[in-house]
Amino acid sequence: MSGPNDAAVLVLSDGTVYEGTAFGAPVEGAGEVVFHTGMTGYQEILTDPSYAGQIVCMTYPEIGNTGCNPDDDESRGVFLRGFVVRDHVDFPSSWRSRESLQTFLARHRVAGISGVDTRALVRRLRSAGAMNGIVAQAPFDLEALRRRAAALPSMAGLNLVDDVTCKTRYEWSEGTAWTLSAPVQGKRYRAVAYDYGIKRNILRELVNAGFDVTVVPADTPAKTVLALEPDGVFLSNGPGDPAAVTYAVPIVRELVAARIPIFGICLGHQILGLALGGTTRKLRFGHHGANQPARDEQSRRVMIASENHGFAVDAGALAEAEDVEITHVNLNDGTVEGLRHRRLPLFSVQYHPEASPGPHDTAYLFRRFRELVESTHA
C-alpha cells in the first residue's frame, strides 16, 4: 500500500501528467481540476462543500504551515476529491494547530500530491480551461489513468448538492466573538437557510446579524418553509451546476411569489437568478480565490471578494428578466456578481461576504439582509 512520500501523479483529461510526491490518504481522487489563488485559508477551502467533486490546486507555494484545528472547519467534512500543492509543510507552527495537514487529509480520506509545478498547471488550466483529472499514488498505470480521466463526466449537468446538503432540519445559534461586525442588539428575527452546501461562518454571521437560524435540506418544499413563519429566507453556497438542481428553482419561485425577503450567496445567487427567469453558463476556469474585484454598479465602489464558483448567471438573459437589476459586476471578466429585484424584497451576490479568513470588504451584506427584513415589518 502506498503512503506519504511515495511517488504520485496528477493526470489531466487531455493526457498531461504532473509528477510529484504523495501525501494525505493513500487513495485515488478524481474530479474537475481547478486552481485557488488564496495565500491563506487552506483548511476553509478543504472543508467548503462548494468544492465537492473537484481537485484543488493551490497557487501559493507553501501549504500546511499553520496546521489544522477544529475551529476553522467550515462544514462537517471534506468533499473535494484531491489537493495539489507545490510545497507541503508537515511541521506546522501555530499555537492554534491541533494536527498537521498530512494527518487532517489522511483522517478525511483525501489524496494529496506535492512537488507539482503548480505554475505550469495553472497556465494550462487558464489556457485550456478547467478539465477533469485524477490524483493517483504509486503503483499506477499511466495509460489507464489517461483513459479514465478522459472519460470522467463534465461538471456541467452535475447535481452535487444532494451529496452535501443536510439530511434533516436543525437549529443554529452559534455566533462568534470575532464577528466581522459587532453583533446586532434588539429584536431577533427568524431566518430559514436552505443548505445547498452551507458554510458555518455564513450561519455565524446570520446569528450575529440578529437572526435565529433554522437550516433545512435543499429539497425542502416552499410550503414547509413558509409554515415555519420565517421573517427571511437565505439561499446558501454549494457545488456543481445550478441548472442541474432542478427541484430548487420551482421552490425558490414559490418563495419569491410569497414576497418573503430572500438573500442568496454563490449557488444560491445562481438559483435565484434562474428562478427570476435568467440562465446560467459554465465559466472557462471559474473564480476560485480571495482577490476577485467586484464593482457596485450604483456607488461604483470596487470591493475585493472571496469567490468559489465555476458557473455564472448570464447577464444577457438576466437583462430581459422583468424588474431584475444587476447590482455588481466582476471587473476581470464582466460576469454578474450581484442582483436585486426592483419591487420585491430580494437580492443576491456571487461572492462570499462571510469569507474566512477574508477579505471582509462585503461583510455588511448580512446587515443589509436584516434591514431588508426590518423594512417588511415596518
Annotated active-site positions, please? Answer: 266, 352, 354
Residue with C-alpha cell 453556497?
Answer: 237
* CB-based contacts of 188, cutoff 8 Å, min separation 6: 210, 211, 212
State how far the alpha carbon of 1 is from the alpha carbons of 11, 103, 112, 163, 235, in Å: 20, 17, 15, 28, 43
Cβ of 138: how many Cβ atoms within 10 Å? 13
Residue with C-alpha cell 499506477?
Answer: 140
Give alpha helix (H) positions in the chain: 42-46, 101-107, 118-128, 142-151, 161-164, 200-208, 222-227, 248-257, 267-275, 315-319, 365-376
> With contact defined as beta carbons under 8 Å apart, do 337 and 306 qualify?
no
How many alpha carbons fall within 13 Å on the CB side of residue 114? 20
Cβ of 314: how many Cβ atoms within 10 Å? 17
Residue with C-alpha cell 427570476?
Answer: 276
State how far the alpha carbon of 296 is from the alpha carbons of 3, 18, 169, 238, 336, in Å: 48, 40, 35, 24, 11
Cβ of 358: how many Cβ atoms within 10 Å? 14
DSSP 68: B
Helix axes 267-275, 248-257, angle to 10 degrees: 70
Q: Is 303 helix (H, G, I), strand (E, B) or coil?
A: strand
Q: Is 148 helix (H, G, I), strand (E, B) or coil?
A: helix
Gap between the Cα atoms of 108 and 110, Å rounded? 6
Residue with C-alpha cell 487532517?
Answer: 104
